[in-house]
Structure formats: structure tokens, C-alpha cells
């Protein structure tokens, strides 16, 4: 960065000369600046043209020139930083603040939240960790998943507040009476982010790639053939009726990427800048649905900011703060209880625990109220009484009469993020120690289970399940594809699970599908295969003047609905 380097050189001159006129020579200044005399003359000319100093040389050999520094370097730093921030040049701003780290919080804060920059409504979000590339088939973080849903389009989609899949690339769809043929009628003039037409053949190619991919293939397990009966229609021919198909195609793994260029999508926003410190997305000019009002959304990725000034914004992923943290407590907070949950699963396939022991263990944990020992803020979590609203968790009575049920001398527990599970594992270890059972704890940094073999060696598994706008469809999909169930369910129960899901998907009546799925989950909980532990309390604080922001089921907000009123004179 030439401007930052120029400021550094000017600081050296100011340190030597101060603000008063200073007699010197080009040779002496070259020594101070660690450069040649020729480059020193060029630098002095540039600094004088910028109005930072005055250089008055005198004719004649041995004559000394007069150097007068006109600007205070600290003031210059502040002015440059403001210039960088106003034009959105965060990389230069961060490089500049490395000179004075204590200024970072104060100078960044006014530029967060909603800003009009060069007549462009811009929303800036301070973010506490590096972001993964937003590719739909490899994402695990909640923030990245939300970005991918914004960048990539699917045949269908979920919108906030609606549990039924809605049209996206498909204008609408039709289902044959026997449920075996689905026709998706595509919108006209669809385009990729690069402006090229979105050909039906490309969509079909992308869908066939998803059909073969291990992450998304479960969504297509019942598809026998996909074809193009006419120019703007896709036909899905199924092996058995599957009335979840439109839901499956709205899931994140079924978002379509360009078959040759997976970084290109067709969603409402496209990626404009992707660097370690700044991600910027901008509206897709050819978007097929309502275009957003916001012209740019920037993630300012600043782990060092949260490390040096944790009060700037909450580091916990359930809380999103837009704008200045020092004003956050004065503003109203949107809050909602997530439908997703953290859970404890018991691996009965391993046969180190039997069903009686599993039932006893869940009773001990339930009676201990382990959620009260979590390190998170008391407003961050809510204990689970239901798997979903109206799906109550079976009661687990703490019966002293069964206290003679002994546990194995040693059990193994595996858990992954979120951070609250650290405290839970320690509490379970303490509970089992009282019962003469040693608990070996293993942490996996991956947010997604990697293989059934990874889970086979553990008796207890702690994990986190996100639930979106269509909770019943999400839980059906969870049973169908998550490696957890293949690992923990005994073989006869696993086969029964697959048969149950097959029967449920063939019921055209939605309420009947929901009731059958609820009944089977009740069975899994009663048989002590798993239990939900707690939900998160999602929190969202927005600055004044940012409108249209409302919490979604995943705890973020719809970027297409946000808007900023124009600034007044």
C-alpha cells in the first residue's frame, strides 16, 4: 500500500524534524528514510504535492534546505483511516490500524451497520472468525449456510415464516395423480451471475451432479430419472411416491452451482470480493425474483477486533450485532427460540450399554439439570421440553428403585461444537464418576460427522442439529441421511427406520406425514436412542435506520428484505 508506506516515511521525517522549520540536506534525509537520494527527492515532491510538508532548497553547493512538516502524523493517520473506511477499503484500514491497535475499536465502530457510501446503501457486519468458501455441499457454519442460500438458487426454496417450499427457479410444479411424476415449469430468462443464460440443459447437468454427490445424493435416492420433456420443463420420475420432493429440492445441498464453474450461482446476491478480511456481496442484476434494495453487504472479518475489544460485539454465534456495540444495549433486541437443538445420543448398536442402562442414564442426566452448568450467558439457551412444538419429550423419572442398575466401568463420549457442550461433557463425567463409571471424552472440531466408523467407537454422542423454516421436513431428512442413525441404531431398528420413512413419504396428506413422523420420533426417544437437551435463544441487534430486518429460523435475516432510508440533507 503506497499511501501507508508514504505515511510511514513521513512519520520518520516528523520524528526527526518536528513541526518547526528544519535545516537539512537530501543526503541526511536519505539516511533517515533508508533510501537513495534520488528516491528521497521524489518522495519529498510527492509529500509536498499532498500538502504534508514544505521543502525549500537553496542554490549552491553545500547550502542546506529547509524542511517544514505541516501535518501531525497522528492526525494524518486518523484522516487516512476515515478515508479508507468511507470508501470501503477495509484491507487498507486494517493495515493502517496495525500501527495503533488501540484505535481500532473507536475508528471502526461508526462504519458498522447501515451506511450510504457514494450513494450506495451498504450494510456492514463485523464478524468474529474467518469464513469458509460458501459452496453449498461443503458448508458447516451457520453464517456460511446463510450466505450460500443467498448466493445460490434452487428449483424451490424456503422463505422466512413459511414451512411450505416456494417457487424459485421453477415458476410452479405439477404432480401426477399417482405421485410418480413431477413436472417443474421453469421461469423464462434465467441467468447465472456472469450474465450468461441459464440453460435447461445446464440445470439438468447440475442436478445430475448433485444426484451423484455423497452429500446431496440422499435427496435424490427415490429419483429414477430426470429429463427435459420440453424447453422449459424438468420431469422427475420417481421409484415410489415422495411428497417431500419439493422440500428436498429446497434444502441447501440442492442449490444449483454452474456445472463448469461452481463459484457461480443464480441467487439474489453474487460474490464481489472474497478476501481473508473482507467479503462483499452485491445484487445479481438479472435476478429472477424481487431484487433487494441493499446494494452491498460486507462482512468485516476481524478476529483481532473481538480479541482486543470483546465488548465490541458478542463473540457467540447466536448473537448478531449490527452497528456500534456501545449503543447496542440501548436498542431493542429481536430474540427467538431456535427450533434446532443440542442432543445426546446413545449408541446401543455398540452394545456396551443396554436399554435399561441407557434409560437410567437419561434419567440421571435429566434429574441433574445439567443445562444450569453451562458457561454461556443465561439468556443464550432454553432447556428442551419438546423436540418440536407439540412433540413433547418423554418424561424420564428419577426412580431410586432402579439405582441398582450398574453402568460399565468405562464409557466413551464424542462431541463437536458448539462450545456449550464443553460444560455438559464435564458435568456428565462428574455424574458418572459418582456412579463408579469413568467417562473418556473426545472432542471433534468438525461440525459434521465424518463417517459412521467415527461414531462406532463411542457410547455417548453430543451434537447439534439446526432446524430451518420447515421443521418436520428437516427432521425427516435428518433421519434419512445423517450418519448418526446408521451408527447408533441396532440393525433391526435401522431397517425399521428406513421402512417407516418410505411409508411416510408416500402419504400425500401433509398432516398425516407430520403425525407419523412425530410418532416415530417419540418411539426413538422412548427407547432411549437420543434426547434433546436445549435450544438456543437467537438474538439480533440492529442500528437505528436499518429497516426490514427480522430473525429467520436460522437466527440470521433475509438480506433481500433489508433497506436503508436515503440520507437527509
Residues of the domain holding 199: 153-254
Q: Are residues 244 and 350 in the same domain?
A: no
Q: Would you state the pLDDT for residue 122?
A: 86
In a domain, 482, yes or no: yes
Task: With cut-offs at 50, 70 and 90, classify the pLDDT of residue 132.
Answer: confident
With bands split at pLDDT 50, 70 and 90, how would you rate the model's confidence at 283? very high
User: From CA 113, how far away is CA 545, in angstroms rounded?
Assistant: 9
Amino acid 120: pLDDT: 82
452 torsion bin: left (phi>0), alpha (psi -120 to 50), beta (else): alpha
Please answer whether residues 153 and 255 qualify as being in contact, where contact means their C-beta atoms are separated by less than 8 angstroms: yes
Q: Which of 238, 254, 270 is the C-terminal boundary of a domain?
A: 254
Host H or E run for residue 47: helix 37-49
Confidence at 447, pLDDT banded by 50, 70, 90: confident
Q: Which of 78-87, 128-137, 507-516 has the highest mean pLDDT?
A: 507-516
Helices of type H across 219-374: 245-249, 303-308, 355-368
Q: Is 136 domain-assigned?
A: no
Return the higher-pLDDT residue of 112 and 560: 560
Residues 1, 96: Cα–Cα separation, whole Å = 10
Q: For residue 94, what pLDDT is reported?
A: 65
What value does the mean pLDDT take over residues 428-450? Answer: 89
Q: What is the C-alpha R_g of the chain?
A: 30
Find the CATH number of the domain harbouring 29. 1.10.10.10
Residue 396: give its domain's CATH number.
3.10.105.10
Q: Cell numbers of 463, please?
A: 451434537
Look at residue 160 in the predicted model and tell me its pLDDT. Answer: 86
The C-alpha atoms of residue 254 and residue 206 are separated, in whole angstroms, by 9
Among 7-21, 98-112, 191-205, 276-290, the range scoring the smallest mean pLDDT is: 98-112
- The residue count of the chain comes to 569
DSSP state of 338: -
pLDDT at 1: 56
Residue 271 lies in a domain: no
Residue 438 lies in a domain: yes
**500 in the same domain as 400:** yes
User: Looking at residue 530, what DSSP letter applies?
Assistant: E
Quick: pLDDT tens for 451-467.
888 899 999 999 989 89
Asked if residue 322 belongs to a domain, the reply is no
pLDDT in tens, 32-49: 888 898 999 999 999 999
pLDDT of residue 222: 93
Residues 385 and 527 in one domain: yes
Give the pLDDT confidence of 222-260 residue by residue, as tens digits: 999 999 998 899 999 999 999 999 999 999 999 999 999
pLDDT above 80: residue 20: yes
pLDDT score, position 68: 93
Number of domains into which the chain is organized:
3
pLDDT in tens, 139-150: 778 889 999 999
pLDDT tens string 331-374: 567 778 888 899 999 999 999 999 899 999 988 888 887 766 66
- Residue 503 reports pLDDT greater than 60: yes
Task: Mean pLDDT check: name the lowest of 103-117, 225-239, 406-420.
Answer: 103-117
pLDDT digits (tens, 9 = 90+) for 305-320: 555 444 444 445 566 7
Q: How many CB atoms lie within 10 A of CB 132?
A: 15
Q: 372 and 235: one domain?
A: no
Q: pLDDT tier at 445 (50, 70, 90 boundaries)?
A: confident
Mean pLDDT, residues 265-284 taken together? 91
CA dihedral 517, 519, 522, 528 (to 10 degrees): -90
pLDDT at 402 over 60: no
Confidence of residue 105 (pLDDT cuts 50, 70, 90): low
| E-assigned strand segments in 19-78 | 22-24, 53-56, 65-69
Element (H, E) at 273: strand 269-274
The whole-number pLDDT of residue 311 equals 40
Choose between 368 and 530: higher pLDDT.
530
Last residue of a domain, one of 234, 254, 274: 254
The answer on 514 and 391 residing in a single domain is: yes
pLDDT of amino acid 318: 66
Across the chain, what does the average pLDDT equal? 85
Higher pLDDT, 389 or 447: 389
- CATH label of the domain that carries residue 226: 3.90.76.10
Interatomic CA distance for residues 163 and 471, integer angstroms:
7
530 and 386 share a domain? yes
* Model confidence band, residue 157 (pLDDT cutoffs 50, 70, 90): very high
* Last-in-domain residue among 54, 71, 88: 71
pLDDT (average), residues 111-123: 76
Looking at the fold, whether 358 and 476 belong to one and the same domain comes out as: yes
pLDDT(102) > 50: no
- Ranking 390-404, 471-485, 516-530 by mean pLDDT, the lowest is 390-404
pTM of the model: 0.81
Q: Is the pLDDT of residue 397 over 80?
A: no
Among 21-30, 200-209, 364-373, which stretch is predicted with the lowest mean pLDDT?
Answer: 364-373
Strand positions, DSSP E, 339-451? 341-346, 381-383, 386-388, 391-392, 410-415, 438-443
The answer to the question of residue 21 being in a domain is yes
Same domain, residue pair 249 and 355: no
Average pLDDT over residues 496-500: 96
Tell whether the torsion through CA atoms of 34, 39, 41 and 43 is positive or negative: negative
> 333 in a domain, yes or no?
no
Position with higher pLDDT, 78 vs 507: 507
Q: Clarify whether residues 236 and 367 are in a common domain.
A: no
pLDDT at residue 186 in the model: 96
pLDDT at 106 exceeding the cut of 70: no
Residue that the C-alpha cell 399417482 belongs to: 178
Q: Please, which pLDDT band fits residue 76 given cuts at 50, 70 and 90?
A: confident
Higher pLDDT, 492 or 377: 492
**Is 354 a member of any domain?**
yes
Confidence of residue 58 (pLDDT cuts 50, 70, 90): confident
Amino acid at each position: 500500500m503506497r499511501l501507508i508506506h508514504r505515511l510511514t516515511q513521513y512519520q520518520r521525517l516528523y520524528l526527526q524534524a518536528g513541526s518547526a522549520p528544519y535545516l537539512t540536506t537530501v543526503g541526511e534525509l536519505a539516511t533517515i528514510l533508508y533510501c537513495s537520494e534520488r528516491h528521497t527527492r521524489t518522495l519529498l515532491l510527492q509529500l509536498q504535492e499532498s500538502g504534508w510538508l514544505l521543502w525549500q532548497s537553496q542554490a549552491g553547493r553545500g547550502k542546506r534546505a529547509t524542511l517544514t512538516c505541516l501535518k501531525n502524523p497522528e492526525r494524518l493517520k486518523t484522516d487516512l483511516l476515515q478515508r479508507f473506511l468511507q470508501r470501503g477499503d477495509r484491507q487498507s484500514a486494517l493495515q493502517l490500524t496495525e500501527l495503533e491497535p488501540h484505535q481500532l475499536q473507536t475508528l471502526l465502530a461508526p462504519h458498522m451497520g447501515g451506511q450510504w457510501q457514494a450513494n450506495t446503501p451498504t450494510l456492514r457486519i463485523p464478524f468474529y472468525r474467518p469464513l469458509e468458501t460458501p459452496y453449498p455441499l461443503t458448508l458447516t457454519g451457520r453464517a456460511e449456510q446463510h450466505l450460500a442460500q443467498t448466493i445460490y438458487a434452487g428449483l424451490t426454496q424456503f422463505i422466512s415464516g413459511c414451512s411450505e417450499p416456494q417457487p424459485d427457479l421453477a415458476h410452479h410444479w405439477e404432480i401426477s395423480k399417482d405421485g410418480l411424476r413431477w413436472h417443474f415449469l421453469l421461469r423464462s430468462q434465467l441467468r447465472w451471475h456472469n450474465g450468461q443464460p441459464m440453460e435447461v440443459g445446464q440445470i439438468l447437468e447440475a442436478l445430475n451432479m448433485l444426484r451423484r454427490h455423497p452429500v446431496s445424493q440422499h435427496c435424490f435416492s427415490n429419483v429414477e430419472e430426470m429429463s427435459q420433456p420440453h424447453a422449459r420443463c424438468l420431469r422427475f420420475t420417481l421409484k415410489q411416491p415422495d411428497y417431500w420432493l419439493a422440500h428436498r429440492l429446497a434444502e441447501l445441498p440442492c442449490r444449483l452451482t454452474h456445472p463448469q464453474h461452481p463459484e457461480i450461482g443464480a441467487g439474489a446476491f453474487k460474490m464481489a470480493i472474497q478476501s481473508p478480511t473482507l467479503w462483499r456481496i452485491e445484487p445479481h442484476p438479472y435476478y429472477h425474483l424481487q431484487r433487494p434494495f441493499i446494494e452491498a453487504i460486507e462482512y468485516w472479518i476481524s478476529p483481532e477486533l473481538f480479541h482486543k475489544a470483546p465488548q465490541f460485539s458478542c463473540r457467540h454465534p447466536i448473537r448478531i450485532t449490527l452497528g456500534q456495540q456501545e449503543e447496542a444495549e440501548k436498542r431493542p433486541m429481536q430474540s427467538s427460540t431456535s427450533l434446532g437443538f443440542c442432543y445426546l445420543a446413545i449408541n446401543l448398536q455398540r452394545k456396551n450399554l443396554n436399554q435399561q442402562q441407557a434409560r437410567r442414564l437419561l434419567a440421571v442426566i435429566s434429574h441433574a439439570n445439567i443445562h444450569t452448568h453451562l458457561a454461556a450467558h443465561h439468556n443464550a439457551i432454553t432447556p428442551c421440553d419438546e423436540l418440536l412444538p407439540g412433540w413433547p419429550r418423554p418424561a424420564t423419572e428419577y426412580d431410586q428403585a432402579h439405582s441398582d442398575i450398574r453402568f460399565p466401568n468405562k464409557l466413551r463420549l464424542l462431541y463437536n461444537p458448539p462450545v456449550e457442550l464443553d460444560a455438559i461433557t464435564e458435568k456428565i463425567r462428574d455424574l458418572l464418576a459418582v456412579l463408579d463409571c469413568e467417562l473418556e471424552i473426545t472432542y471433534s472440531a468438525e461440525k459434521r460427522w465424518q463417517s459412521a466408523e467415527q461414531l462406532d467407537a463411542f457410547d455417548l454422542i453430543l451434537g447439534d442439529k439446526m432446524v430451518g423454516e420447515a421443521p418436520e421436513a428437516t427432521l425427516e431428512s435428518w433421519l434419512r441421511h445423517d450418519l448418526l442413525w446408521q451408527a447408533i441404531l441396532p440393525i433391526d431398528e435401522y431397517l425399521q427406520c428406513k421402512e417407516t420413512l418410505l411409508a411416510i413419504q408416500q402419504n400425500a396428506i401433509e398432516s398425516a406425514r407430520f403425525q407419523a413422523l412425530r410418532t416415530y420420533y417419540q418411539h426413538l426417544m422412548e427407547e432411549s436412542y437420543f434426547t434433546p437437551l436445549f435450544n438456543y435463544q437467537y438474538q439480533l441487534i440492529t442500528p437505528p435506520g436499518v429497516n426490514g430486518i427480522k430473525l429467520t429460523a436460522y437466527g440470521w435475516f433475509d438480506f433481500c428484505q433489508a433497506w436503508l432510508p436515503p440520507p437527509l440533507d
